[in-house]
Chain A
Amino acid sequence: MTQRSNDRRLTRWPLAALVSLSLVQAAAAGPPLREVIDTEVRAVWEREKVSPAAPASDAEFLRRVSVDIVGVIPTHEEAVAFLADQSPDKRRQLIDRLLDDPRYARHMAELWDVLLFTRNPPGSEVDKRDGFQGWLRQRFAENTPYDKLVRELLKAEGNSVEQGPPLYFVQYRQRPEDMTEVVTQTFLGVQLQCARCHNHPFESWTQQDFYGMAAFLARLQIVSAGKADNQSKYMVAEKSTGDILFTGAVKEDKPGKKGDPVAPKFLIGDPLVEPPLPDGFKEVAKFEENKPPPAPVFSRKDQLAEWVTRADNPYFAKATANRLWAMFLGRGLVHPVDNLSDSNKPSHPELLTALARELVEHQFDLKWLIRELCNSQVYQLSSIGPEADPLPRLFQQARVRPLSAEELMDSWRVATGFETSVKPDAKKNVGRFAPIDGGYMIRFFGQPNTGTGDFQGGLHEHLFLNNGPVSQLIVTSPGSLYDSLVKSTSPWPDRIDRLYLSLLNRPPNDEERQKFSEFFSADEKMNPERLRDAIWALMTCSEFRFNH
């Protein structure tokens, strides 16, 4: 190695190495992480002379934390009970309850499914992902340590339906360069894509770095394994030979140039030491379909999976902690979350280091991390305040983010009583977004899927809300919100309370009560159509559309 590249390596270390150096040392029992969060964030407010918003009200907190943890707003009954609860630690109890709720696993699995496959995956083989999604749900339900989850994903053992993980690589087929880009970006927060074609212009990554990583995945082959449950099964096989070829900068590329093989080398780390092939080794000519592929003599892929998820990997814990922080607090401490680099420094470096260190000490326990985040005072600030940035940079006011397509639909169903009042057989075989066509939900509400408020909803979304099938959710079956309000004999102010608590999870204020009373009593006898109007307006307004 040349002196020059050694220097480059040294300059690259300090930012990345903060975690790894301290990881292995068990920290002395300090304050709980939630307090560290509050102390670190407050210190920056003081330094920057920023005043924080008031603490969130109980109603504000209840709705926010419910959507964030289980992906759906609370029911009317849950809201009434929580607001009436007098125990001083009811917020802590609520967080624990939500983390134990089976809907937590479903919600997290859906978030990770979109993270790993996006709304438009590159290969049509992965459009149906029931097996994979089941695996994710199972892992989150068991609270599998995140490093273990990622290791399983990258080792890709078994098949894509009964086990699940192989499907992740299937979408990239035999394209190790594409796999390398997403693996480093998603799990390490390192963006190598520029280095694929030329040395990175701002960062220190070189093309050798990129192809050194791609070499770990160059021997993978996707093998068909028949069908199960109407899904094609795939397995990931690995050859024992074969190299990635590097042809130099794309600009200087010439047709017919073959390129040189590049040996696998860990990013910021050593070349992989590989045992020699046994004498007389003969490579598999072609992997047989429908048969578990033989293991390679030495699996580069498994070495990569181990290295990525090691506690002392310079990026993994930090990238994971940062991603979780952004899911709950809006903006990443490094933002965007998948770009940890010297030119994109963290807003709160000590805090990020502490998050990563403690995540490692807690064996990548995601529930533990989420519990700490949600119990912090920073998370529990109000979104009411002067700040116009939906993702306040210093976390002085709660972030505002749009609900995902799934969160929006589930919340609509709970609020209108569709969820509980429509008989299960009427819901059969109608898809994730019943009673509305899932294609429309994804088209109008599927983006952004980062959960960080890069809101792009425009005119088209409102045409759908105004003129589309949303009204199919306003069901009239016994037990639905509509039915209970029509049949109720309570005075209007009480019924309006019910309406608000069901849809916005808070009681109306006097002005709102008066406005709606006036609206409902404008006709001689209560016009049921006006109730539909009111439910529609509350389902489509900003207060419902965003988690705030």
Chain B
Amino acid sequence: MSVGDLAKPTLLASVTVKKEFMIDHLSRRALLKGTLATSSGGVVMNWGDLFHGPASLAAESAPTKKRCILLWMNGGASQFETFDMKPGARTGGTFRPINTNVAGAQICELMPKIAQQMDKLAVIRSMRTSEVDHPGGIYLMHTGYRPTANVRFPEFGAIIAKYNGREGTNLPNFIKVFSQADAGAGFLGPKFQPFAIGPEGSLPPFSSSSQSPEVESRRHQLRTFLEETYAKEHRAETSKMHREAYEASRRLQEVRKVFDIDAEWEKHSELYGNSVFGRRCLLARRLIEEGVTFVEVSQSSYDSHADNAVWHKALVPPMEHAWAGLLVDLQQRGLLDSTLVVWMGEIGRTPNINNRAGRDHYVRSWSTALAGGGIKGGQVYGESDATGVDVKDNPVTEGDFFATIYSALGIDPKKENFAGVRPIPLAPFGSKVVSELLTS
């Protein structure tokens, strides 16, 4: 008998067939999870998991859970130059509305391709949110909460990774391509931290190994031994996170090719439009197809305090081309019903056009759009008044918006996590799900 076997007494009984090894391995995993759930049941800080043990979480994470792509319009796209046209009004701007494939629904002429996908979209024209500047707005529209000194709220990507993510996958469950948000996993802890891809789709530094496979495997063997030995006696969650992140970093090596989209891009550049945002959207589709739960792709910057029309004329066409391509691609691959596509920025823009032909920040009445998984497409929800100064009916707050997103993904927005001893619901207390936007 070798020394290696001595280190694993639990395996001694199951030397007969490989199947038994599997069972043993699984039960050991399950046992570890159970232990952690029990021992953490009474603690205060368990990265949000006060009464929600990892074992039950794993059971919930069936492969059929919905995924999400966030198309982030950084700086705040103008509702008047996208989804909430005010032709003839003094606030209307220079562009004209066009018809869509949904009777009666008109959008901006800058978006002809999206107009042909309108039957998939639920546009909200009555957003009313509470952070009017970029840092606060970016935080708010990624977490559902305003920034505060004492609670580090998680981004909704981290929340969706937690509830709909798969365990033990090679790819991280939460990936961002060129994101401007930095709230990360907040109190949910490092397991749900986003994995950040550069603007051109490049992997973060040190993603590739320079070691020979032989050295890699030798090192891994020792590291695993060291971690297992330490974990026998030390139960702190932080060390567990450290071990899991190490495992995840190794598994990533198996799937690095997913991030190399060059070959596929040749075939798809027409569908997505020849732009960097198009490439990002294709990458998002590949990642979703590989099972990633949440992908954010961003385009920057819509912060058009001057020359609003010029900026939107430059930014919207490549964006809408890529977005429409993404929806078509997802549908063709049978992924659209299980993938929610969220389109938004952190703020809207003012009805008034300022003396530099720009529009400033505005959150009293603005627009967002949802499509795909769980969403009843082909509708416009809510309405702004004749000049777009205020919401006329059905206002949707950030809390309502996130409650609706979670519901569309099959996640109860009232579920609570804990920041210290303070229970924090996924969507802020008092938020309403806009059920008209949902298929069921």
Contact = CB atoms under 8 A, between A and B. Distances in A.
| Range, interface on chain B | 35 or more
A389 B207 CA distance: 31
A150 B222 CA distance: 48
A459 interface: yes
Given A466-B206, A542-B230, A458 B193 contact: yes
Nearest to A391: B45
A393 interface: yes
Interface stretch (A171-179, A240-248, A526-534): A526-534
Interface string B193-213: 101100000001111111100
Nearest to A50: B42
Given A336-B150, A466-B206, A467-B208, A461 B245 contact: yes
A518 B234 CA distance: 25
A458 B245 contact: yes
Interface in A364-388: 383-388
A478 to B, nearest CB: 25
B234 A463 contact: no
Given A339-B149, A385-B235, A459 B245 contact: yes
B392 interface: no
A520 to B, nearest CB: 11
Interface in A432-470: 440, 453, 455-468
B226 A390 contact: no
A389 B46 contact: yes
Interface stretch (A2-10, A13-21, A309-317, A508-516): A508-516
Contacts of B45: 389-391, 393
A166 interface: no
Contact of A455 (B196, B227, B238): B238
A539 B189 CA distance: 23
A467 B238 contact: no
Nearest to A331: B45
A173 to B, nearest CB: 18
B222 A548 contact: no
Interface string B2-25: 111011000000000000000000
B193 A541 contact: no
B357 interface: no
Given A461-B245, A541-B226, A400 B44 contact: no
Contact of A514 (B6, B44, B195, B248): B6
A533 B215 contact: yes
Contacts of B233: 384
B219 A511 contact: no
Contacts of B235: 385-388
A515 B252 CA distance: 27
Contacts of A538: 226
Main secondary structure on A side of the interface with B: helix
A430 interface: no
B215 A529 contact: yes
Nearest to A456: B190
Given A389-B236, A515-B225, A537-B222, A463 B206 contact: yes
Contact of B193 (A393, A456, A516, A543): A456
A545 interface: yes
A292 to B, nearest CB: 37
Contacts of B172: 459
Given A339-B149, A458-B193, A548 B236 contact: yes
A193 interface: yes
A460 B237 CA distance: 18
A329 to B, nearest CB: 15
B439 interface: no
A128 to B, nearest CB: 25
B223 A540 contact: yes
Interface of B: 2-4, 6-7, 36, 39-40, 43-46, 149-150, 172, 184-185, 189-191, 193, 195-196, 204-211, 215, 218-219, 221-223, 225-227, 229-231, 233-243, 245-246, 248-250, 252, 420
23 contacts: A388-B39, A388-B40, A388-B237, A388-B240, A389-B40, A389-B43, A389-B236, A456-B184, A456-B189, A457-B245, A458-B185, A458-B245, A459-B252, A460-B195, A460-B196, A462-B250, A515-B3, A530-B218, A542-B230, A542-B234, A542-B243, A548-B236, A548-B239
Given A388-B235, A461-B245, 14 more contacts: A388-B43, A391-B45, A402-B238, A457-B190, A458-B190, A467-B206, A518-B4, A529-B215, A530-B218, A537-B222, A541-B226, A542-B242, A542-B243, A548-B239
Closest 4 CB pairs of A and B: A462-B249, A389-B43, A537-B222, A458-B193
